Structure 1
Amino acid sequence: MIAYTAASSLGRLDGRRALVTGAARGMGRAHALTLAGLGASVTLLDLDEVENANTAQEIKSLGGTAYALAADVTSRTACERASEAAASAMGGLDILVHNAGLMYSGTGLADTDDEDFHRLLMVNVHAPLYLTRAALPYLLASDHARVVFVSSQWGQVPGGHSYGYMTAKAAQLGLMKTMATEFAGRQILVNAVTPGAVITRMVPEEYQQAEQAVIPIGRLAEPGEIASVVAFLAGDGASFITGQTIGVNGGACIVGI
């Protein structure tokens, strides 16, 4: 399994307690598996109750500790309840991974749907704000507090997918930097990973083929390759890193995509 293979080269996270949003499948699943493989207890948060429970059970079958919570991260109340439940189950909270996201196909300005635009902002900007604020008392009590945003390279370089997606991901990076600035002195380290194209259900096959043709490395990323960077930022090896955006895109940034 890629997530656990990548984990073998990373520092251990024994005793750490992590909460991962959008953890049922794709990159979120890889983050949860990798963090658990490094010894962290992990609470998986996702709207898809069945898939989320399946991923939690997979972690348990591999000897890890996992809890599954179903919640809508765009609800402030749900974030407050989830944060409290996760901290209660794990005895605290050290690592928060904002992975939940949405992606819509490209539209011009005149065709941009107001509801889609708002929903993208809710999932990518409001949700991490709500959840980090709810988790703040637990993070302040931790000796190893880490917040990691899983954003996108298209928050840095417009890729034509949608006004909502580009705007939300760019705003997400601004939110990350603001949090990093406020909490650096209180030893809560906040960073972001910006993947390029990754092989997940969210990326249509025809789009994967088009992206592969222009990525310098010549292929899309596997979810575990993003998860290994998230795990690094969550660990002791990143103890002097905050407010940074780490691109994981196979060289796409070199050619301006």
Structure 2
Amino acid sequence: MNDTAATGGRLDGRVALITGAGRGMGRAHAIELAQRGARVAVLDLDLAEAESVAAEIRNAGGHASAYGVDVTDRAAVEAAVARTGAEWGRLDILVSNAGIVNDFTGIADTDDAEFQRQLAINAYGLLHTARAALPWLQQSPAARIIVISSFWAQLAVGHSYGYVAAKAANMAMARNLALELAPQGIVVNAITPGSIATRMIPDPEWEMQEYPIPIGYMAAPEEISKLVAFLASDDAKFIVGQVISPNGGTMIAGL
């Protein structure tokens, strides 16, 4: 397969599929990769939001398609991946970003259904997308899987058991995928962002007090997207199986 070099952070000619890309960090990842030359499949449970992001990319001169997909539905994920591959003839980059956090309770009040929902979206979502994308990634000369976990998977936060367990599963699955797929030339890494200014954080002031950020501010989603783009590029092809945590210093603040 002919390919375009993706050094200097460029992704010209590459095709990326991003889950949970209708808003927040996923939206920022989609726009960032498109700005660097990638064609982007925008997947989100909310088709209207996915279409809005794809339109934004196209209006800026990029290439994007939108799909309304529930990542817990294996068949729906497989169909979206197949349509992406059929449309552009390849798939090079998978960004597994879809995730939610709804339950901030302690162990005694942890709801079974919500716990299972967290695992379904985060862990099964990664399983479904990675498995569906694998045949396409095996054909790519520069295949990447980038898993978005959370620094809550590395901290003891004392609540949110479903989310913490699911994001820890993401992190472990990314490292396992990296070991299995590296010999095939498929590079896998995980990102565990700290406190990022999205709708997932309803009370930023509480968040900053609970998880102090030594650098003094909560990051915008676009700051994480720069790291996603770097890991997707040829400049990062020797970075394999790593868990990278952009968190403004929270992890060294004695928590």
TM-score for both structures, normalised by structure 2: 0.94
CA pair 175-181 structure 1, distance change in 2 beyond 3 A: same
The number of aligned residues is 247
1:75 matched to 2:73: yes
Q: What SS does structure 2 have at the residue aligned with 1:185?
A: helix
| Contiguous gaps of at least 5 residues in structure 1 | 1-8
In 2: Cα distance, 1:99 partner to 1:152 partner: 10
* CA-CA distance at 1:234 after TM superposition: 0.5
Which residue is equivalent to 1:159? 157
Match of residue 5 from structure 1 = none
Q: Does 1:231 align with 2:199?
A: no
Alignment of 1:141-152 (within 5 A): 141-152=139-150
| Alpha-carbon RMSD | 1.2
Q: Which amino acid aligns with 2:207?
A: E
Verify the 8 A CA contact 2:103 2:114 in the aligned structure 1. no
In structure 2, the residue matched to 1:53 is: 51
What's the counterpart of residue 212 of structure 1? 208
Describe the superposition over 1:18-39 as per-residue Cα deviations: whole angstroms up to 9, x where unpaired.
0000001100000000000000
Say which SS state the counterpart of residue 195 (structure 1) adopts: coil
Q: Identity of counterpart residues, as a percentage?
A: 51
Query: For residues 150-181 of structure 1, what are the alpha-carbon distances to aligned partners after superposition, in whole Å with 9 as ceiling and x for unaligned?
Result: 11001111223401011111111110011000
Deviation at residue 54 of structure 1 after TM alignment: 0.7
Which residue identity is paired with 1:121? Answer: L
Aligned with 2:245: secondary structure? strand
**Is the counterpart of residue 243 in structure 1 residue 241 in structure 2?**
yes
Q: Does 1:180 align with 2:178?
A: yes
Tell me the CA shift for residue 104 of structure 1: 2.2
CA deviation map 1:48-73 (0-9, x unaligned): 11111011000001110000011111
Return structure 1 stretches of 4+ with deviation > 3 angstroms.
none
Distance (whole Å) between structure 2 residues aligned to residue 184 and residue 101 of structure 1: 25
* Deviation of the 1:210 alpha carbon: 2.3
Does the CA-based 8 Å contact 2:107-2:159 persist in structure 1?
Answer: no
Q: Does structure 2 conserve the Cα–Cα contact (< 8 Å) formed by 1:21 and 1:100?
A: yes
Task: For 2:109 and 2:103, locate their aligned partners in 1 and report how far apart those are by CA, in whole Å.
Answer: 11
Q: Match for residue 3 of structure 2?
A: none
Task: Give matches, 1:125-144, under 5 Å.
Answer: 125-144=123-142
Structure-2 separation of matches of 1:251 and 1:105: 25
Structure 2 residue runs without a partner (length 5+): 1-6
Q: Any idea what the Cα deviations from partners look like across 1:75-100, whole Å, max 9, x if unmatched? A: 11111111101111221100000000
What is the TM-score when the length of structure 1 is the normalising length? 0.94
